[in-house]
Amino acid sequence: MTDQTPVATQAAVPSTRIDFLYLSEPDMIAAGVNDAAACVDTCEEVFSLLGHGDYLMGGANHNNHGMNIVFPKESPFPNMPVAGPDRRFAAMPGYLGGRFDVCGNKWYGSNHANMTKGLPRSILTMMLNDKETGAPLAMMSANLLSAARTGAVPGVAAKHLANPDAKVVSVVGCGPINKACLTAVMTQLKQVQQVVCFDVFLDKAQGLAAWVRETYGIEAFGVDDAKAGVEDADVITVAASRLKPLFLQDDWIKKGATVLVSGPMNSDESFLLDAKIVYDHTPLHEAYVEDAIGSGNKEGYYSGVIGGPFYRLIDAGILPALPASTGLGDVVNGTKQGRTSPEDRVIFIACGMSVFDIGWSYAVLENARAKGIGTSLNLWDVPAQG
């Protein structure tokens, strides 16, 4: 027998061992979760996949935002959670195609009362899974992930819909989500000279303005008056909570302005009809309307969702039906037009989709693997159930 002679071997038995990576919040930071420019690039890719249809989200229509546990007003069971401000659990599953080709689920609990315990309003985790076997690939701390992708979505919109010479940006609602939105928008608009921060709490607005001055070295100030907050703005990013209804009047919004809506707001019908409306993804909004009809209380449901003011006008036949409307994926893919002139006022509506969590968490996981970040956890060597 020479060295080259093949040795008869048994067919290799595939390993059943499953390990996955656990990424804590510090691990996520080290793996680049806060890289806003990279997150905008990834989310732009996700918009393109959405436009082509290479994704699945929850529900029979493949387009559900997610599934919530809604707590009852009261319960005969002493331990059962009851309704409270911003109190819910939500699961947001999905599959994302393209180079990602992976399944995932973002899962979070939200409770306004967390603030009194020094905790964020919501606490989020993200799971990525192999699309064939369901095996976990990674479990991640997802507060920063979720904020980064929520910010990056209007960041992509700013790139494709805003006038590129925008000088004044207004931030409406000065919580962590809008800070992430502003951060992403600033990666795309290079001529911004002034940021106006508006919050019902002046100290929050001033706090964000101080951060803007320190971070970007440009003029920034805080106000607690809505008109003063938006009247000079070329780009308005809206992500206020539901503490107080937010109404931005038509005559406060400049010609050529782009309003990036990531949280609830309403305006005069005249503005909603005058503006060019671009949705994040029209089938998502069709799924919201389906849910609203199924809830038996369409009006109540509309009042609780970001798209509500638009769905009412669609139902009344005043705004075009959703299938005939424009999604940002269509604009990114060049199949539909967004802004048609520098004078247009444009509204972009983003309601949050699991595919953005999946896309950005996959990119962060790739970074973590390349840099050896995270803790490997073992699910099993051999499954006990055989």
Ligand X SMILES: NC(=O)c1ccc[n+]([C@@H]2O[C@H](COP(=O)([O-])OP(=O)(O)OC[C@H]3O[C@@H](n4cnc5c(N)ncnc54)[C@H](O)[C@@H]3O)[C@@H](O)[C@H]2O)c1
- Closer of 163 and 241 to ligand X (Cβ): 241
Count Cβ atoms below 10 Å from residue 198 Cβ, excluding itself. Answer: 31
- Closest approach of Cβ 325 to ligand X, in Å? 18
- Closer of 85 and 342 to ligand X (Cβ): 85
- Closer of 173 and 338 to ligand X (Cβ): 173
- Closer of 18 and 361 to ligand X (Cβ): 361
Residues contacting 313, CB < 8 A, separation 6+: 269, 272, 273, 319
Count Cβ atoms below 10 Å from residue 334 Cβ, excluding itself. Answer: 9
- Closest approach of Cβ 209 to ligand X, in Å? 13
- Closer of 29 and 200 to ligand X (Cβ): 200
Going by the DSSP 8-state scheme, the letter that residue 250 receives in this structure is G
- Closer of 18 and 265 to ligand X (Cβ): 265
Nearest-CA neighbor of 192 among 159, 216, 222, 226?
A: 216
Going by the DSSP 8-state scheme, the letter that residue 141 receives in this structure is E
Residue nearest to ligand X (CB): 175
Burial class of residue 124 in the structure, from the number of CB atoms within 10 Å of its CB (0-12 exposed, 13-18 middle, 19+ buried): buried
Q: C-alpha angle with apex 266: 212 to 296, nearest 5 degrees? A: 130
Nearest-CA neighbor of 282 among 59, 40, 2, 63?
A: 63
- Closer of 280 and 330 to ligand X (Cβ): 280
- Closest approach of Cβ 39 to ligand X, in Å? 13
- Closer of 95 and 108 to ligand X (Cβ): 108
Which alpha helices (H) appear in the chain, and where do they start and end? 25-30, 36-52, 143-161, 176-188, 202-216, 226-230, 269-274, 282-295, 298-303, 308-315, 328-332, 354-371
- Closer of 18 and 248 to ligand X (Cβ): 248
Nearest-CA neighbor of 17 among 385, 376, 383?
A: 383
- Distance in angstroms (rounded) separating the CA atoms of residues 78 and 116: 22
Count Cβ atoms below 10 Å from residue 382 Cβ, excluding itself. Answer: 10
- Closest approach of Cβ 286 to ligand X, in Å? 17
Q: What tokens appear for 329 in the block? A: 């994926």
- Closest approach of Cβ 172 to ligand X, in Å? 6
- Closest approach of Cβ 181 to ligand X, in Å? 9
Q: Helices then strands (H, E): number in the chain?
A: 12, 18
- Closest approach of Cβ 65 to ligand X, in Å? 9
- Closest approach of Cβ 26 to ligand X, in Å? 21
Going by the DSSP 8-state scheme, the letter that residue 159 receives in this structure is H
Q: What is the binding site for ligand X (CB under 6 A)?
A: 121, 150, 172-178, 198-201, 204, 239-241, 243-244, 246, 262-264, 350-352
Q: What tokens appear for 122 in the block? A: 């919501």
- Closer of 18 and 105 to ligand X (Cβ): 105
- Closest approach of Cβ 180 to ligand X, in Å? 8
C-alpha neighbours within 13 Å on the C-beta side of residue 26: 1
| Amino acid making up residue 287 | A
- Closest approach of Cβ 243 to ligand X, in Å? 4
